[in-house]
Chain A
Amino acid sequence: MNKTIDQPNITKRRLFKKNPNKIKETLSDRIIHAVSVTLLIFFVILIVFPLLNYFSLAFNNYAFNDKIILWPAKLDLAPIKYVFSANSKDFWRAFLNSVIITLIVTFVSNLVEAMAAYPLSKKNCPFRSGILMFFIITMLFSAGVVPIYLLMRSFNLLNTIWSIILISISNVTNLLFFKTFFENVPSEIQEAAIIDGASPLQMFFRIIMPMALPVFGSCCFFTIVGMWNGYGAALIFINSEATEAMPLAYYLYISLTNGQAATMYDDFLRNYLPNIQAASMLISIIPILIIYPYVIKYIKSGATLGSVKG
């Protein structure tokens, strides 16, 4: 690097800190800006405060529960230890159920939908619009809870995790996502692969899917979040006594409503009930926290994608 070049102009320009040609912000604009920033910060506080206030319970001694504001008033790991002890077998059973449900649905659903989207993305697919309509109709109209419930009943799948898995696999939104992506894959690549003798199956798994990995990732991510947190299907298919088939969010909901009854003869449980509940809630969101960096990436890419376009 040649450091001897002198740069009088640049240093001179730096003396002007403000661009003299810039239009000054009016007073009203500044007030509006201040108000909007304040509102946003208020919204952030509104989100962070209750969460910190609640999750502090997980690390707190029960006698000091009313002293908590933003962090534990008196550190006590007993609630966390209780969740990890043999007493919370049901909790971990539900945790395992949720893991199984989430993994199976995420893998199978996205693979199946991506496969279906591939031919539909091609102009020369026979009966393309008809098949597309066949999928979209299911988004527009559903017959309601009863037929699905009775169907699962006749399959003998009530009170098993399979009812939740099977009903969640069909996902037309992701199909449309994949279809839009595949439509934008350059046709030259596919033509080259065909000339090299690739069969449709090879083409899909060797060429299209590796290119679609980012889309596949974000679809998988949303499936994971939906399956981990949602329990609408569990509310329908799994009754409140079938603990062995509950997903985690549903188990937590049931244990909230039945929690009081279990504490009758146990002093430790009675005292620590809110703390133990908070601890199990905290542990239940750990998988989401692990993949949250992915959300941040997604948010940032979405936001910058906009600025590139503009």
Chain B
Amino acid sequence: MRARLLPFALMMALCSCSSRADKQLEAVKSARSVIAEWALVEEQAAAGRAQSTYVGQMRELAKDQLKTAEQELSQQPDAASLIDSLRSHAPDAAALKRAAGALKPLENSLETA
């Protein structure tokens, strides 16, 4: 019986490895990438090198993805409010790049936690 429970116990132990700090790290990494992706889309749009339908949809998809990250980062008020301001405005590529850069220190601190 014990032997049968061993794989289950091992799996539970692995699942518990995903701590709250890990969840926040995952959220901040995801947010930073989504913001950088959005910045690249805005750069292409500003240069007239992307279709308007594509750009509009990518903006909406980026905002949806950031909403999930913002909820996960509720314990990090600075990061959450930064993401919230991006979602509620129409930032250009430069503002988005600054925002991605501003999240880097938080990512580094969670990485070493």
* A is bound by B: no
